Amino acid sequence: MSTATLKPPAAFAPARTLYVKPHDWPFRWLVESETNRAQPHMVDLSSYNGNGECSCLNFACRLAPELRQGRHASNSTRCKHIKAARGMFCDMMIRHHSTSSHHTGATNQK
């Protein structure tokens, strides 16, 4: 079950409409900026107790202060970059765990 046994993807891959790339596996990702493609945003999925943290202005100016005031983590405390990185991370986890161990692909089978 350890994420350390998972290999990160080798290159940029699409998640939603933004491109994400692992930076420091498994929690730190670079996510494409729509306003400046040469400068991707840094996302750390483990920050703020699992909410995630992003280097974009939306997160720094609007969402981070709310989290510091005690707002609970949810999709409304995450910018689109955090959501994109979480989407990719989740896709990889699901793929990894559905193709490994005892899963056969059949339903209702134990």
> Using CB under 5 A as the criterion, which residues of the chain lie in contact with Zn ion when the complex forms?
41, 54, 56, 59, 79, 81
Output the smallest distance, CB 94 to Zn ion, in A: 23
What is the C-alpha radius of gyration for the chain, rounded to an integer number of angstroms?
16
Is the CB of 80 or the CB of 96 nearer to Zn ion?
80
Q: How far apart are CA 86 and CA 27, in angstroms?
A: 9
Least spacing, CB of residue 92 vs Zn ion, in Å = 20
Nearer to Zn ion, 90 or 94 (CB): 90
β partners of residue 44: 28, 53
Nearer residue to Zn ion within complex by CB, 34 or 91: 34
Phi, psi of 20 (to 5 degrees): -125, 150
Q: Considering the complex, what minimum distance in angstroms separates the CB of residue 48 from Zn ion? A: 13
Question: What's the longest Cα–Cα distance across the chain?
Answer: 49
